[in-house]
Chains A and B, each alone.
Chain A
């Protein structure tokens, strides 16, 4: 297995890890973090695709690389918006949770 393949496997594992965190962690901020991990794993998979397509004197195909750069910037913009939403939720309700039971319980027993 070549070194580039190793990073591809690493990307696949990171995507799985991120997906696990996204599903099992109840805190919204940790979900955002896990989503970023998932995203970076997918980017790394793209890195392997780019490296494999090395040709014409370039060490990798520049097209997937440019797409990953765009993706990183867009992922940051989405993260910033998501974090702002969580903070607004905290301001509005005093808690930062997505759990529906909590808010129902609060309404039931004031």
Chain B
């Protein structure tokens, strides 16, 4: 009982909101790259927003459901299909025992999140179910999914459990519940997006020309970009004078510039410390946006004040609280 992996896809891992509290021990945060999509997917199926879900990258898996379930797919549009019929995203979908969920071409974005009511029952390691590939811990035996794996589904919340039971009694086929997340609350998802940043601690240590170019030129996302970081290619960014840097903590969205002058954006699987000059820091509400860009796309950076970034952060969280309340009403 659960979900059987018929094909694994490019890189499908179990992720939650991350492994916090252990960076001082050198343990990286991990977690979903697009936390907004993961939170929405979980809320839609009646889970806690931080429940473990599957992060599906570009080429999705082929999954057989061995039990009736309520699922939600949020984030990238990777042409999800249930028994060959296109599946609606950003809304709860009832899926019948024996159905096959598959993915096709990438229509938008880079990472889709699949949540199931009840979550994925994998062992918690250091307070998180996120997969930490290099240390081989968390998630599904510390690794990406492989063909033949069997995922166990946890116990759904009472409301979603009732819903599943009701639809099963009606012998329903695949059925979207007819409501979902409005695009109004989406992050600024876009192809070749504009990403907002605040100044990094060493912003002013860069040549004036480099600062201008950082904020006006497109930067291409290189193929060797991954969950650890995005390597960008654009105009060479140069310091006004050499800088003696001492390693210190870095964050998700830190834009650092190694000596060769091409920026690297640190993301979910970043190391806990870094020693390169930080030209900028992506604001929290735009992290899901960069998480959905893929190699070959271009980014532009736009500077905002810390106060703007904070206001956007709080507004986003209040919006998510509203979504949570609205969903709770739906399930009553």
A and B interact: no
Which positions in A face B, CB cutoff 8 Å? none
